Structures are given as structure tokens and as C-alpha cells.
Chains A and B, each alone.
Chain A
Amino acid sequence: MEIKTCLLWAALACAMPQFAQTPAPTPAEGLTQAQLNARAKAQDVPEIPFESAPNFLKLPPNLYLGEGIGVATNSKGHIFVYTRSQATRLFEFDAKGNYQREIGEGLYGFAFAHAVRVDPEDNIWAVDEGSNMVIKFNPEGRVAMVLGRRPEPGEAAPLAPEPYTFNRPTDVAWDAAGNIFVADGYGNSRVVKYDKNGRFIASVGSKGGAPGQLNLPHTMATDAKGNVYVGDRSNSRIQVFDNDLTFKAIYDRVGAPWAVCISPGPHQYLYSSNSNPDSNNSLLNAVTGEIYKMELDGTVIGKFGHAGKNLGEFSTVHEIDCRNENELLVSEIVSWRVQKLTLHPVRRAQ
């Protein structure tokens, strides 16, 4: 979508003599329209100081991460990384980043990684955009339940949303009762709710830009009350639904939410990454890449980071773990890595 917008503006610029020499500038900002579209509306946001631990994950000599698609921690601080390597693979590390094991090697549902999350019982859930499946592993690493079904060879994805099949699903979350929410996803533009035993309860959403509609629900998180926060990426907004999937609110000031998470505890925070596009577009990289820290009501508290390939810079953050609100883990698509970030208190400008 960003590319299309870009081309459109390039064409307009050529058609208008006064802008023929350079991409259309706006006098106040010096930014192209595409840059303005990608940039978050929230400006003058306090910067949160942070640092990134160097060489945090220690991999065995012959093991490599591919695109760092999913990252999540369990209650012991162990880290799970779901990566698009030559095969899609799921690795476990301890809290210090030492490699522990591979989970689900050769699994039928591992085709094209999208997200990994850990539920309150430390079950590990992988969301696979290629196999159209959500796979629950118990803490021992054995398959405990699967949702959706990998298409048979030669079988196309269903045209209409169905109760028990997905079309490129993106994320999973749970409420306190164990109900399961699936963001579904690239193909179906909806969120589906199942009970804890995997029985269909309800779904919400269709493709569009109206409130309650979704245009690429790419990431999702629940708060302690069971409200569901959906990163409606191509609409550049977070939509909040209650536990019955009734529309509640829109937060549209923090750019395109590629990855959201909600921290636990009595005071919960919402993090959302306005990730730079994975197309290596340097113009858009200049105005994106930061992560926002918000209250659950959408109030922006601060932001940190920007697009880049160095330590402490972000190259298309794809998942955030915020089990500890000041020690985040982020996985990145374009840089094949996971970073561990330590956030520090905001220095308030006087």
C-alpha cells in the first residue's frame, strides 16, 4: 500500500510543473506526502531512553536465525523465537539468551512463521501464516491443540471466512477465562473468538476502513479485563473491542501498528511499533521505526527507537514481548535478529 501511494504521488508530481524536479514537498515539514502518511500523528512525544544488550542470543555454531518474526517469553523468562529460516523453526533460549532446544522440528504446521505467544500456563502458541494454522504446544514442547487446517496440496484457501479455517492468520491472544482470540489476518480481515477447548464462539470484522472493519489485522493483545486490542495495520490504527468483540475505540495517532503487546500487572501498558516498512524504503525509514508506550486508554506516554540496522535501531519490528514492562524483547524482519531492550524513565522536558 505504501508503494502504491508513493507511485501515485510521484505521478502527481510529474503532472504538476511546480513539483516536477523533486518529490512534492510540504513547506512546513519538508516531507513527501508518503512520508506524512507513514509518520505517526503523535508528535512531540517524550523520548524514552533505552539500551540494547549486545549479542544477547547465543546460538550454537551451525544454527542461524532467519527473519526474526516472533518472540515471546514464558513465566521463567525463557525466550521463544519463531523464525523464517530455510524451514520455519521455533527455538527456545533461557533468560540469559543461552540456546536450550528446538521445538516442533519438521512440524506439519510450520510453513511460514508469523507470531509466537506464551499463555498464562506457559503453553507456547505458534501462528503460521503459511500453513494457516495456530498450534498450541504444552510447556514440554508437544502439540496440545491445533486450530485451523493446512490446505491440502493444490487446495486454495477458502473464499469466505469459515469458523474453523484461517486465511493467513497473524496473531493469538487469550482472556482470563482461557478463551482464544485469533487475528485472521491477511486474507480474512477479522478476529475470531474460540472457547478454551477450541470451539467457535464469534468473529468480528470485514475488510474496510469503517470503525469495526479491519484492513490487515496484523497483531493483537488482550488486557486483564479481556478487552481485545487489534493492530489494524493498513488502517494505521489500533482498534479496541470488548470481550464479546463489540467495537469500543480507535487509537490512530501512533502510525501503523505492526506489533502490539500489553504488559501484565496492576498498571498495564500498551506498546505499539510503527515499524518501518519491510521494503527497505529509505524515505519511509526516515519517519518510521519507533515504538510507542501508551496507557490502555490510548494516551501516549513516550516513544523510543528509529529505523536502522545498528544495535538499538529497529529494522521492521515484527513482534514485541513486554512481560516485563521495562525489559522488552523485539524481533525484526529485515535484520535477522532479536534485541533485548532495557527502558529507562522518561526525562521530562521542563
Chain B
Amino acid sequence: MTGICGASTRACRVGTHADAFCPGAQERRVETRRGRHECLRHGMLIITLAMATSLCAQIAFDSAPDPLKLPERIHLGEAAGVATNSKGNLFVYTRTGGANATWGASRTFTHGGSRLFEFDRTGKFVREIGEGVYGFLFAQAVRVDANDHIWVVDRGSNMVIEFSPEGRIVKTLGRKPEAVSDAGRGGRGPNPGAGVPGDNFNRPTDVAWDRAGNIFVADGYGNARVAKFDRDGRFLKSWGSRGTGQGQFDLPLSLATDARGNVYVADRGNRRIQVFDNEGGFQREIANVGAPWAICISPGAHQYLYSSNSNEPNSMEGGEIYRLELDGTMLGKFGTAGKLLKEFGTVNEIDCRNPNELVVGEITNWRVQRLRLRP
């Protein structure tokens, strides 16, 4: 079942609107596992596409219109991170606003920073957290731990920042590179924040915890590893390197832990989820879910794993979210890439504290959707 249901073939991402970009009339453009594009013969792909999509259970779902009520002067940019706390309040970590200088080839442009907003369960704006914080450069993820602490992962500053429920900084992991020569481009080129292995990150992507409070950081674009820290932030170990073998990663973009402390890593470039035990021992891999951009594991006695095969920002193919058992058994999927309600524009994070009421943050649609699944 899993092999048929999932997006294991590249044909799942056939570009029906992209014909103009392929030289031959019989060719269509597809995205390869590394996010590049190539043109393949048309007929072969149509057959595979039909196999891949027709036999997978579609999960019915709704999306609430205008789920967030923003103040007049606040706008979301790319909604990179979304997470809820135990009260159902929603945190959105978004790439927006705040001018920094960027030097182009011939001109200077300004670009934004990132901001963290809190909403109550009805979508009413509550407050901004961490306004102007040193580590808010390029939002990547936000997660809320078992004690309702809010953790922000910033890909630009190479930092993971823990806030108390009151919104004060409790702990920081990593260090923002010093900005002497190239302000606003944190993490590019040699800098003091890119140690491997060790405490520092190079464009980290996600954070998770086990029951003992140990911290796992997906690190990330630059380092292709998972780092483990104890509850006090002391570095314990890290595993992984760039590659395609077991325990290797090609862009670990998202991670989640189950109740037993196993670590699930979305290995986006390798189009698989790798599962490790609490010490980093390889357990298994889950394929057939396309390119996992965002994963989450719901709490409770029966835990579910969600994984988003998000569309590349320059494509409207794919985009569906899969619902799986922790062992990888496919339960169904929902959604597709697009700009309308119930369509997804490069989902970058999923919150599944309630397994049937998901919150997704989208990069290319600059919005958050609240989804109610009817499996």
C-alpha cells in the first residue's frame, strides 16, 4: 500500500503548466530530487503519474477563512514557522519587515528581518514577542515545548532561542556570526558560528525535545547533521553528514520526536524521513512521501506522523500533506499546491498538537491556514 500511495516517483511532480520551458513538444518538465528541473518524455510519465495518485486515500478537510486577525499595521511575510501551546495559542514566526542593507551587484537593497507573533485560539492578535531581538534575522521554525516555552530557530542568525511563556529569553543555542563585512547575510561564508561538530550551527532548521528535556537541533542547510544537547544546553553529540547513505542527510529540514524519544528527521533532498533512536542510532527510513519539507508528530496515546511534500517555491506541483503511522504506514493525504484556500504555497511548518486540527505555515502564500481534517 505505501509504495503505491506515496509520491515515490518523480512523476508525481509532472509540470502540467510548464510545457513552455521544455524544448520538445513531447517533453514535460519535472523536478528532480535535488530541486533542479529537467525535461522528460511525456508518455512515460503520464502512466506513472496515474499509478501514483489514483490509489491513495484522500483525506477530506476544511480550511477556516481568515484564521488570523492582524492589527492594521502588521502584515505577515513568509510564514516560515507555526506552533501552538497547551492553551491553544498560536505562535507565528514570519520573515517580514525591519530593514537591513543587502549589497547587490550594483545597488543596495534593503531587506527585512523576522518577527514572532502570538494569537489566541480564536485568531485574535495577542502580542509580539522578541521585537528587535538580536537573533531574529531569517525565520525558519518555531516550536513550543512541553512546558509551553517557545523556541525559535533562525536560519539567518544560526541560533536557537528559548523564550519563557512570558516571552523573555531563557536560553540561546549557537551564536550569530559577527557582522563586520556583510551585515544582514548571517551564516554566509567563513564565520565563527559554523563549528562542526559542536555547539554552533550553520543555517539550522528545526528543534525538538525528548521527555528528559534533551534538545535535538536539525542543522541544517550548512552542516547536514542532528545535534543533541542536554536540558541545560550542554552539547552531547551530533550525527550525520552530507550524503545519501543511512544516517546521512541532504538538507535535514524538519524534525520531530515521538513519545519514546525516537527522532524523525525530514531528509528533504533525499526524499525520505529517517528515524533514529534517542542516541542517533539509525532505525529505519520512510520513503514514498515526496520531499519532506515539514513534519510533525501528534501527542496522545496513538501518535500520528504528518509530512508535507511541499511545492518548490518556483513550482505549483505536489504540495500534498501525508498522514502516516509512526512505522511509516500510509493513512492518506490531502491538499495540493496553489494559492486558494485549502491549497498550499510551500508549507514550511505544521503544528499537529491536535491530530485533526492542523496549523500550517506557508512560504510562498504569506499566510497561515487552520485545517480541520475529516479522516
Task: Report the minimal beta-carbon distance from B116 to chain A, rounded to whole angstroms.
Answer: 15
Question: Of the candidates A143, A153, A199, A201, which one forms a contact with B75 in the assembled complex, judged by CB atoms under 8 Å apart?
Answer: A143
**Binary A-proximity of B356-368 (CB < 8 A = 1, otherwise 0):** 0000000111110
Task: Report the minimal beta-carbon distance from A79 to chain B, rounded to whole angstroms.
Answer: 20
| Smallest Cβ-Cβ distance to A106: which chain B residue | B97
Inter-subunit contact A153/B156 (CB<8 Å): yes
A contact patch SS: loop
Does residue B99 face the partner (Cβ distance < 8 Å to A)? yes
Inter-subunit contact A149/B75 (CB<8 Å): no
User: How many Å lie between the Cα of A198 and that of B365 in the bound state?
Assistant: 11
Contacts of A145 in B (CB 8 A): 339, 365
Does residue B20 face the partner (Cβ distance < 8 Å to A)? yes
Does residue A146 face the partner (Cβ distance < 8 Å to B)? yes
Contacts of B98 in A (CB 8 A): 106
Inter-subunit contact A163/B315 (CB<8 Å): yes
Inter-subunit contact A162/B75 (CB<8 Å): no
- Take A87-B110, A199-B17 as given contacts and tell me if A108 and B364 are in contact as well, using a CB distance cutoff of 8 Å: no
Question: Of the candidates A112, A154, A199, which one forms a contact with B338 in the assembled complex, judged by CB atoms under 8 Å apart?
Answer: A199
User: How many Å lie between the Cα of A130 and that of B94 in the bound state?
Assistant: 19
**Binary B-proximity of A107-133 (CB < 8 A = 1, otherwise 0):** 111011000000000000000001000
Inter-subunit contact B365/A146 (CB<8 Å): yes
Contacts of A130 in B (CB 8 A): 109-110
**Binary A-proximity of B109-142 (CB < 8 A = 1, otherwise 0):** 1111000000000000000000000000110000
**Binary B-proximity of A148-181 (CB < 8 A = 1, otherwise 0):** 0110111000100111110000000000000000
| Smallest Cβ-Cβ distance to A202: which chain B residue | B20
Does residue A104 face the partner (Cβ distance < 8 Å to B)? yes
Contacts of B314 in A (CB 8 A): 149, 158, 162-165
Question: Of the candidates A106, A149, A201, which one forms a contact with B364 in the assembled complex, judged by CB atoms under 8 Å apart?
Answer: A149
Task: Report the minimal beta-carbon distance from A163 to chain B, rounded to whole angstroms.
Answer: 6
Task: Report the minimal beta-carbon distance from B108 to chain A, rounded to whole angstroms.
Answer: 10
Task: Report the minimal beta-carbon distance from B176 to chain A, rounded to whole angstroms.
Answer: 13
The tally of residues in B whose CB lies under 8 Å from a CB in A reads 43
User: How many Å lie between the Cα of A312 and that of B47 in the bound state?
Assistant: 65
Contacts of A164 in B (CB 8 A): 313-316, 364
Inter-subunit contact B77/A109 (CB<8 Å): yes
- Take A153-B184, A153-B185 as given contacts and tell me if A106 and B316 are in contact as well, using a CB distance cutoff of 8 Å: no
Does residue A197 face the partner (Cβ distance < 8 Å to B)? yes
| Smallest Cβ-Cβ distance to A135: which chain B residue | B366
Contacts of B315 in A (CB 8 A): 163-164
Inter-subunit contact A200/B75 (CB<8 Å): no
Inter-subunit contact B313/A153 (CB<8 Å): no
Which B339-372 residues have a C-beta within 8 angstroms of A? 339-340, 363-367
User: How many Å lie between the Cα of A201 and that of B21 in the bound state?
Assistant: 11
Contacts of B323 in A (CB 8 A): none
Contacts of B365 in A (CB 8 A): 145-146
**Binary B-proximity of A190-209 (CB < 8 A = 1, otherwise 0):** 00000001111111000000
Does residue A295 face the partner (Cβ distance < 8 Å to B)? no
Contacts of A112 in B (CB 8 A): 107, 109
| Smallest Cβ-Cβ distance to A104: which chain B residue | B75
Task: Report the minimal beta-carbon distance from A61 to chain B, rounded to whole angstroms.
Answer: 19
Does residue A297 face the partner (Cβ distance < 8 Å to B)? no
Does residue A278 face the partner (Cβ distance < 8 Å to B)? no
Task: Report the minimal beta-carbon distance from A198 to chain B, rounded to whole angstroms.
Answer: 4
- The 25 listed contacts between A and B (C-beta, < 8 Å) are A104-B75, A106-B73, A107-B75, A107-B77, A108-B77, A108-B94, A108-B112, A111-B111, A112-B109, A130-B109, A142-B70, A143-B75, A152-B138, A153-B111, A153-B156, A153-B185, A158-B314, A161-B21, A162-B314, A163-B18, A164-B364, A165-B314, A197-B338, A197-B339, A199-B17
3 nearest A-B residue pairs (beta carbon): A108-B77, A106-B97, A198-B339
Q: Which residues from chain B sit less than 8 Å from chain A, CB to CB?
A: 15, 17-18, 20-21, 70, 72-73, 75-78, 94-99, 102, 107, 109-112, 137-138, 156, 184-186, 188, 313-316, 338-340, 363-367
